[in-house]
Amino acid sequence: MTDLILICEAKDEILKVKHHLKKLVFILSAMRHFSNELTQKCYQVSYIKFDSISTTNTLKEQVRHTIKKHKIRHLVVTRPNEYHTLQNILTWETDFGISVELKDDDRFLCSELEFSNWASDRKQLRMELFYRQMRKKYSILMDGDKPIGGQWNFDKENRKPPGDGLSPPKSYSNEPDEITTEVKAFVKTNFSGHFGDIDPFDFAVTRTQALNAFKLFIIKRLPKFGDYQDAMLEGEPWMYHSHISFYLNCGLLLPLECIKLAEQAYRTGKAPLNAVEGFIRQILGWREYVRGIYWVEMPSYENRNFLNAKRNLPDFYWTGNTELNCLAQCISETKKNAYAHHIQRLMILGNFALIAGLDPVQVNEWFLIVYADAYEWAELPNVSGMSLFADGGFLASKPYAAGGNYIKKMSNYCKNCNYSVAKKFGEKACPFNYLYWDFLNRNREKLKSNHRVSMMYKTYDRMSSEKKQAIADDSSRFLQALT
């Protein structure tokens, strides 16, 4: 076999973002395990470790060196899912003087071109329509040309609050082997200033382990995933979620195999339709959709700031030291696990950033740093588009802003909070309550024409002048204290 596989712990790529310690261990360990598996299957592999690379060397320089050393005549590269990395690779053919072949990434089910064609003739893009097309294309949960169950989306059935006695099963756990232990020591030595905890480290780092983790989800948590996918509980970071975004986004699992296994669970009576459809929609719908949005809108998307939000990210996003229990819970779990589920990210961490007017650049940087599944193609549309409405509604049809009542309904966080969710004004009132209305008032000129929030402006306008002033005073006091 004359082909050579190059796997490189490229310094410029690794140091581009100050990643969570656990993410570094996960990615580097997965890379090294994959290299060993390829070698065992008799592939010729050149593996370049981080600490064997000169400080000034980049991915491009490592590729150049490998081409020269091994007299490479043709280069095959999977299309990267980061815009600026792609721009770098597009220069290689000219700079290296050899042919460079770009292959579509099979970790996705909709190519960039296919999504671009779908989006090109539409005045407004909506995930639901894209999702239906993907269901038809791959014949997922279909009865002929109709959706099983008579409807495409069972989201209304998937919003149950966490009742008393809810006890999610234990998540997948994997004991670190020699490779992972070596990587942990390396990361502790070389990246000590990074955010997050390394231990406990129990992620899957091989394809076999990732498949075991996913099969455990199918058996133990998928049956209740639909009902409680939006629920949050203190001390239960994993809930009934699958936690496979780590493995999908780095390639240890492939989307269609996960979708098929979930569909099989429904067809064999092991999981209800609302749970299976909700899970499949996250992969076949949302995951593919946000990636499509990313490539259609880059590079301008990373600089969008429709609401002109400029407030600095508060220190408590790094420390968790805040009297808002919901934020303290989500941040402390993020620090420990490099993970938070989608409602914690959207309706707690993102919601606060939205109504407090935090700078999108700083918020995006935080989300990209702290989560082990975060890559720019996924993180940027989810944060700028879904959480912060920084794209002015290109991705989401409304700002996902909410007051304290939503958090009270969907979690038990409010029970142990220093603020009172029942109070609307004053020092002990839940800040989400008054910041929500202050956010709407601050951004009225830009949001008043949005039909999905127009009713809230009618409610605000019916408030007494005293109530409006209390909202403004409490918000001003709280936001000034942030800085």
Say which CATH number the domain at 439 has: 1.10.579.10
pLDDT band with cut points at 50, 70 and 90 for residue 40: very high
Structure confidence by residue, pLDDT tens digits, 261-310 = 999 999 999 999 999 999 999 999 999 999 999 999 999 999 999 999 99
- The mean pLDDT of 358-378, rounded to a whole number, is 98
pLDDT band with cut points at 50, 70 and 90 for residue 1: low
User: Whose CA is closest to 190, among 434, 417, 43, 11?
Assistant: 11
How many structural domains does the chain have?
A: 3
Is the separation of the CB atoms in 208 and 138 below 8 Å? no
Distance (Å, rounded) from C-alpha 432 to C-alpha 406? 10
Same domain, 146 and 225: yes
Structure confidence by residue, pLDDT tens digits, 200-249 = 999 999 999 999 999 999 999 999 999 999 999 999 999 999 999 999 99
- The mean pLDDT of 142-164, rounded to a whole number, is 91
pLDDT band with cut points at 50, 70 and 90 for residue 87: very high
Strands (E), 79-199: 99-103, 142-143, 146-147
Same domain, 88 and 150: no
Range of the domain at 96: 5-103
71 burial type by CB count under 10 A (0-12 exposed, 13-18 middle, 19+ buried): exposed
- pLDDT (0 to 100) of residue 51: 86
User: Whose CA is closest to 344, among 380, 387, 393, 280?
Assistant: 387
Residue 143 inside a domain? The answer is yes
Domain boundary among 230, 262, 297: 297
Same domain, 320 and 455: yes
CA torsion angle 286 288 289 290 (round to 10):
90
Same domain, 90 and 27: yes
Same domain, 405 and 362: yes
Query: Cα 343–175–367 angle (5° rounding)?
Result: 30
For residue 78, give the H/E element and its range. Answer: strand 74-78
Same domain, 261 and 341: no
Same domain, 367 and 404: yes
Residue 179 inside a domain? The answer is no
Q: Tell me the CATH number at 266.
A: 1.25.40.80
- The mean pLDDT of 36-45, rounded to a whole number, is 96
Residue 97 inside a domain? The answer is yes
Same domain, 274 and 376: no
Same domain, 274 and 401: no
Distance (Å, rounded) from C-alpha 339 to C-alpha 316? 17
pLDDT at 163 over 90: no
In sign, the C-alpha dihedral spanning 135, 140, 145, 150 is negative
Domain boundary among 264, 297, 330: 297
Same domain, 19 and 154: no
Residue 192 inside a domain? The answer is no
pLDDT at 39 over 90: yes
Distances, alpha carbon 143 to alpha carbons 78, 133, 178, 267, in Å: 35, 14, 48, 12
For residue 273, give the H/E element and its range. Answer: helix 273-280
Residue 367 inside a domain? The answer is yes
The set of residues, in sequence order, having a beta carbon less than 8 Å from that of 480 and lying 6+ positions away, is none
Same domain, 347 and 247: no
% of residues, the chain, pLDDT over 70 = 99
- pLDDT (0 to 100) of residue 55: 67
- pLDDT (0 to 100) of residue 433: 98
pLDDT band with cut points at 50, 70 and 90 for residue 123: confident
Distance (Å, rounded) from C-alpha 335 to C-alpha 317? 10
63: left (phi over 0), alpha (psi -120 to 50) or beta: alpha
Residue 383 inside a domain? The answer is yes
Residue 362 inside a domain? The answer is yes
CA atoms within 13 A on the CB side of 323: 13
The SS3 assignment for 232 reads: strand
Residue 329 inside a domain? The answer is yes
Same domain, 277 and 154: yes
Q: Tell me the CATH number at 51.
A: 3.40.50.620
What's 397's DSSP letter? S
Structure confidence by residue, pLDDT tens digits, 384-425 = 999 999 999 999 999 999 999 999 999 999 999 999 999 999
